[in-house]
Amino acid sequence: MAGFFSKLKDGVAKTADKAQLTLEVTKLSSQINGIKKDIDALYTQIGEQVYQAYAQGDLSLAEAEIVRHGQAIGQHQDTITELEAKIRELRNEKTCPDCSTVVAADIRFCSSCGHKFDFTPPPAAVEPGAEAPVEGSQEQVLILEPELEAELASEEERIRADEPCASCGEPVAPGVRYCTHCGHDQQAVE
């Protein structure tokens, strides 16, 4: 499975295929969720050990185990931070300087506060006949585990739930205040 995963990663990097990118992000997200469950289990263990030490009338009995589990939690949190950075990188995102919301790199307006970004147009289209050689772009048949398939379906569901902006018609995700394309306030009374 590891070989399949790295092959998939290569494919994403080279073809920038939207579906594969979504798949890659979904995989990283479910990895993060798994680590969060591990962290919760460690919290529970710390709680039990503190209680047992309390019941024995000496809280210091729990100290060594708290330190050990605390270190493990710290390592897990570092891993989550790395995975989250990887997701931002894959999604090509940027952080709003006004409100710190993480948004897509190619939007003009922050979806949360309406901040206008200095919009850098995407790099000029490659001249005809000068396209970069297409490597590793052969079709890949994706066989998904059922739970991954379900997550992917819910991601697609979310995308389908987008409403067109009242001002420019671009899709706006539910709950988003400002159109990321034109900055129109979705809560504005027409």
Euclidean distance between the first and the last CA atom of the chain, given in angstroms as a whole number: 53
Nearest-angstrom CA–CA distance, 183 and 166:
11
Burial class (CB in 10 A: 0-12, 13-18, 19+), 135: exposed
Q: Which of residues 103-122 bind Zn ion (CB under 5 A)?
A: 110, 112-113, 115
CB of 134 to Zn ion, least distance (A): 34
Question: Which positions from 119 to 158 touch Zn ion by CB under 5 A, shown as an x/- string?
Answer: ----------------------------------------
Q: Is 32 in the site for Zn ion (CB under 5 A)?
A: no
Does 31 bind Zn ion (CB under 5 A)? Our answer is: no
| Residue 19 burial (CB count, 10 A) | 11
Interface with Zn ion includes 162 (CB under 5 A)?
no
| Comparison of 9 and 115: residue with beta carbon closer to Zn ion | 115
DSSP 20: H
Among positions 82-101, residues that touch Zn ion (CB under 5 A) are: 96, 98-99, 101
Percentages (nearest 5) of helix, strand, coil residues in the chain? 55, 5, 40
167 touching Zn ion, by CB under 5 A: yes
Nearest approach, Cβ of 175 to Zn ion (angstroms)? 15
How many C-beta atoms lie closer than 10 Å to residue 1's C-beta? 6
- Which residues bind to Zn ion, rule: CB under 5 A? 96, 98-99, 101, 110, 112-113, 115, 165, 167-168, 179, 181-182, 184
